Amino acid sequence: MGVNLESRRIRRLQQQQPVSGWSRTSGSSRVDHPVRIHTLGRFAVQVYSHPMGLSLARQQRPLDLLKALIALGGREVHAELLSQALWPDTDGDAAQNAFDVTLHRLRRLFDIKDLFILRDRRLTLNSNLAWVDAWAFERLVNHSERLLHLVGDPMIGRQVARCSERLLNLYQGAFLEREASNAWTLTLRERLRSKLLRHMQDAGLCWEQDGNWERAIRFYRKGLEVDPLTEELYQRLIIAYRATGRRAEAIRTFHRCRLILADQFQIAPSQQTLELFHSLKD
């Protein structure tokens, strides 16, 4: 019953849209999508700009299939791989039937033609119809990495700044962080986290070289929010605080690093970090 009600609500929203309402907008490179899926820090779905109700118990298995599809790449993911993720204790015909039934329910829930494409038992979430924050993040971070190699031109610097701000806005938390117990979420979660940390570090160095220490500090601090165990970020943050005359904050950063490494790994800071700390006393 819950799935039918949500499907009817989506159908009404679809009928209210103008014929060209979801095509490329005039004078803009932006493409609007009827479906928007948020997976970074939270799981939320919007259909035609309206939030989809996600609390109904009968919707959970179809939505689990959607989550697994995104986590496993979103494009031409074999049904067997999805079945192994969602029904690990079910084999053969039973697993295939569970997949087919759940996909049918997922299609009914959204009721958008060609949103889910199944060919040769490989399932794709149509990126022309669905925007996914994790996909947008990955495209943007790859673009930013290319730009970072060209920094020096003021125009490029401004582009990097805009990309970096958009990345920070997109990354609201770990990929499907409430699904951490599901092994199938781990690969994408770690890849996105690693890419963000690398970008925070590379962009911070870029801002250092440009003399924009405050922006570098913001990036290093954001990186440490994502992963408080990355010692290199503490080192860069200490250097940035030292460069701006904020000795007390640099010292506090060192002690935070020391305490976290001792608590999590039972190790002391590296020699490089210790040397940075001693330089603060000079």
Average pLDDT per block of 10 residues along the chain, 282 residues long: 52 48 37 90 92 74 97 98 95 92 96 96 97 97 85 72 88 92 94 93 88 92 92 97 97 97 95 96 76
Distance CA 97, CA 103 (A): 10
Check if the beta carbon of residue 205 is closer than 8 Å to that of residue 198: no
Assigned fold of 2-15+31-128: Arc Repressor Mutant, subunit A (1.10.10)
pTM of this prediction? Answer: 0.82
Tell me: domain 133-279, CATH 1.25.40.10, correct? yes
Residue 146 token pair: 């290319």
Q: What is the pLDDT of residue 146?
A: 86
pLDDT recorded at residue 2: 47
What is the location of CATH 1.10.10.10 in the chain?
A: 2-15+31-128
User: What's residue 119's pLDDT?
Assistant: 97
CA distance 240 to 84: 47
CA 115/CA 65 separation, integer angstroms: 14
Q: How far is the C-alpha of 39 from the C-alpha of 16, rounded, in Å? A: 27
pLDDT at residue 252, as a whole number: 97
Give the residue among 188, 186, 197 at the shortest CA–CA distance from 145. 197
pLDDT for residue 135: 97
Nearest to 157 by CA among 197, 122, 206: 206
Say how far apart CA 174 and CA 168 lie, in whole Å: 12
- All CATH 1.25.40.10 domain ranges in the chain, comma separated: 133-279
